Amino acid sequence: MCGIVAYIGKKQAFPIVLKGLKRLEYRGYDSAGIAVLNGGALNMFKRSGKVANLEAYAMEHNTEGHAAIGHTRWATHGLPNDINAHPHFSNDESIAVIHNGIIENYDTLKKELIAHGYTFQSETDTEVLVHLIDDIRRNDNLTIAEAVRRALHHVEGAYAIVVISKDNPNQLVAARKSSPLVVGIGNEGDFFLASDATPIIEYTKRVVYLNDEEIAVVDLNEGLRIFNIGNQEKTPFIQKLEMELEALEKGGYEHFMLKEIHEQPRSIQDCLRGRVNSNEGWVALRGLLDYETKMIQAKRLIIVACGTSWHAALVGEYLIEDLARINVEVEYASEFRYRNPIIDENDVVIAISQSGETADTLAALELAKSKGATILGVCNVVGSSISRVTDAGCYTHAGPEIGVASTKAFTAQVTVLTLMALSLAHKKGTISESAFHALLTEVEDVPAKVKEVLKTNSIIEKIAAEYAEAPNALYLGRGSSFPVALEGALKLKEISYIHAEGYPAAEMKHGPIALIDENMPVFVIATKGNSYEKVVSNIQEVKARKGKIIAIVTEGDVNVKEMADHVIEIPETHEYLVPLLATIPLQLLSYHIALMRGCNVDQPRNLAKSVTVE
Where does this chain bind ligand AGP (CB under 6 A)?
306-309, 353-355, 358, 361, 404-406, 494, 610-611
To ligand AGP, the closest distance from the beta carbon of 73 in angstroms equals 18
Closest CA relative to residue 602, chosen from 76, 217, 27, 109: 27
Of 31 and 354, nearer to ligand AGP (C-beta) is 354
Q: Which is nearer to ligand AGP, 75 or 526 (CB)?
A: 75
Contacts of 203 (CB under 8 A, 6+ apart): 16, 184, 186, 187, 192
Using CB positions, name the residue nearest to ligand AGP: 307
63 versus 358: smaller Cβ distance to ligand AGP: 358
A 10 A CB-CB count for 261 gives 24
First to last CA, the chain: 10
Min CB(355)–ligand AGP separation in Å: 3
Spatial separation of the C-alpha atoms in residues 372 and 351, rounded to whole Å: 15
* Distance in Å, CB of 483 to ligand AGP, minimum: 13
| CA separation for the pair 118, 228 (Å, rounded) | 28
Q: What is the DSSP letter of 602?
A: S
Q: How far is the CB of 583 from ligand AGP (least distance, A)?
A: 12
The answer to whether 475 and 586 have CB atoms below 8 angstroms apart is: yes
H helix intervals, 75-218: 106-115, 127-140, 144-152
How crowded is residue 3: how many other Cβ atoms within 10 Å of its Cβ? 32
Rounded to 5°, the CA angle 211-214-216 comes to: 110
Q: Which is nearer to ligand AGP, 578 or 611 (CB)?
A: 611
We find the least distance from the C-beta atom of residue 406 to ligand AGP, in angstroms, to be 4
Nearer to ligand AGP, 498 or 611 (CB): 611
Residue number, 97 or 611, with CB nearest to ligand AGP? 611
d(CA 430, CA 322): 9
CA distance 63 to 46: 12
Shortest distance, position 181 Cβ to ligand AGP, whole Å: 17
What minimum distance in Å lies between the beta carbon of 358 and ligand AGP? 3
Alpha-carbon distance 215 to 179, whole Å?
A: 13
- Residue 345's alpha-carbon distances to 288, 298, 313, 387, 442, in angstroms, are 18, 9, 22, 20, 36
**Residue 410 CB, nearest distance to ligand AGP (Å)?**
8
* Phi, psi angle pair for 119, to nearest 5°: -110, 140
Count helices and strands in the chain by DSSP H and E runs: 19, 27
C-alpha–C-alpha distance, residues 364 and 368, integer Å: 6
Pick between residue 8 and residue 490 the one whose CB is nearest to ligand AGP. 490
Nearest to ligand AGP of 236, 579 (CB atom): 579
Task: Tell me the C-alpha distance between 333 and 324, whole Å.
Answer: 24
Name the residues annotated as catalytic: 2, 609
- Least Cα distance to 313 among 530, 545, 579 occurs for 579
